[in-house]
């Protein structure tokens, strides 16, 4: 694809994605405008399907929706609320640790800088970028499996790891698209641009796509 085609792709996907389900973390951000809820829902979403994350997030936030109240819960109570998200026992411990650090080190406020967020247990670059972009509406590039796969499939970049993808996108992707890029590609990846046998016959941006690595499609 041509480098300038990314503007057309983003515009088309922005028009098409309202037809699809919104990623749960994006929905949390849009409805709550709360960086803490964005942070915790993102932690829960790792290695977990969106529908499972949505239910776990709802159950947990019904019990506690701020660091102080979350710390009052036992690990067992958190585990019961978030099960069956992936690695639920580890995530329960991380949530307790995160809330403790937020209270003791950050005055109960979620940091708005990636380097500070990375100091929290269980928070990697994907989570940190998502909190910055969706929680604070600040520039960042969140790279998950969809963003990594699809950006390479387009032929827009050529990278081997998500961290490498983030570094390259920070140099190449126009800054105006940084905040929305993840949400658009996650919806697109969940509904059409699947890892195996993507639905190319239904793709609204196929004319811009080099279909790198696609051997079979629908």
Question: What CATH number is attached to the domain comprising 97?
Answer: 1.10.340.30
Is residue 113 domain-shared with residue 190, that is, in the same domain?
Answer: no
Percentage of the residues of the chain whose pLDDT score is greater than 70: 100
Which structural domain, as residue segments, surrounds residue 93?
A: 24-136
- 217 in a structural domain: no
Give this prediction's pTM: 0.90
Residue 40 and residue 116 in one domain:
yes
Distance separating alpha carbons of residues 150 and 191, to the nearest angstrom: 13
Domain tally, the chain: 2
Q: How far apart are CA 124 and CA 185, in angstroms?
A: 19
One domain for residues 111 and 60: yes
Claim to verify: residue 30 and residue 128 sit in the same structural domain: yes
Handedness of CA 188, 196, 141, 100 (dihedral sign): positive
pLDDT tens-digit map of 70-96: 999 999 999 999 999 999 999 999 999
* Residue with more model confidence, 19 or 9: 9
Same domain, 38 and 109: yes
The mean pLDDT of 33-58, rounded to a whole number, is 95
Q: Which of 99, 121, 136 is the endpoint of a domain?
A: 136
Q: Tell me: pLDDT of 22 over 90.
A: no
Does residue 162 lie in a domain region? yes
| Same domain flag for 118 and 31 | yes
Nearest to 168 by CA among 180, 156, 177, 176: 156
What CATH number is attached to the domain comprising 204?
1.10.1670.10
Domain end: 89, 118, 136, which one? Answer: 136
- Domain C-terminal end among 78, 108, 136: 136
Are 142 and 133 contacting, i.e. CB atoms less than 8 angstroms apart?
A: yes
* Same domain assignment for residues 45 and 83: yes
Burial group, residue 100, by CB count within 10 angstroms (0-12, 13-18, 19+):
middle
73 in Cβ contact with 99 (< 8 Å): no
One domain for residues 77 and 169: no
Average pLDDT over residues 12-32: 92
**Average pLDDT value over all residues in the chain:** 96
Residues 93 and 162 in one domain: no
In a domain, 213, yes or no: no
Residues 162 and 127 in one domain: no
CA distance 156 to 162: 14
Same domain, 96 and 125: yes
Q: Can you tell me the distance from the alpha carbon of 214 to that of 85, in angstroms, rounded to the nearest whole number? A: 30
Same domain, 10 and 76: no
Half-sphere exposure of 88 (CA within 13 A, CB side): 16
- Displacement of CA 36 from its chain's centroid (Å): 14
Inside any domain, residue 146: yes
> Would 130 be classed as within a structural domain?
yes
The confidence score (pLDDT) of residue 52 equals 96
């Amino acid at each position: 694809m041509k480098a300038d085609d990314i503007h057309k792709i983003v515009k088309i996907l922005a028009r098409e994605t309202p037809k699809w389900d919104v990623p749960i973390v994006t929905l949390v951000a849009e409805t709550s405008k709360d960086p803490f809820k964005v942070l915790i829902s993102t932690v829960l979403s790792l290695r977990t399907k969106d529908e499972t994350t949505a239910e776990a997030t709802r159950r947990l936030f019904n019990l506690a929706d701020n660091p102080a109240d979350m710390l009052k819960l036992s690990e067992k109570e958190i585990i019961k609320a978030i099960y069956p998200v992936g690695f639920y026992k580890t995530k329960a411990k991380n949530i307790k640790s995160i809330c403790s650090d937020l209270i003791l080190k950050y005055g109960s406020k979620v940091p708005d800088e990636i380097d500070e967020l990375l100091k929290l247990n269980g928070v990697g670059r994907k989570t940190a970028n998502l909190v910055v972009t969706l929680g604070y509406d600040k520039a960042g590039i969140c790279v998950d499996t969809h963003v990594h796969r699809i950006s390479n499939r387009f032929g827009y970049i050529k990278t081997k790891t998500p961290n490498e993808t983030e570094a390259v996108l920070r140099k190449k992707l126009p800054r105006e698209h940084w905040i929305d890029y993840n949400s658009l590609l996650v919806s697109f990846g969940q509904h059409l641009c699947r890892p195996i046998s993507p639905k190319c016959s239904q793709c609204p941006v196929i004319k811009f796509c080099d279909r790198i690595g696609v051997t079979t499609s629908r």
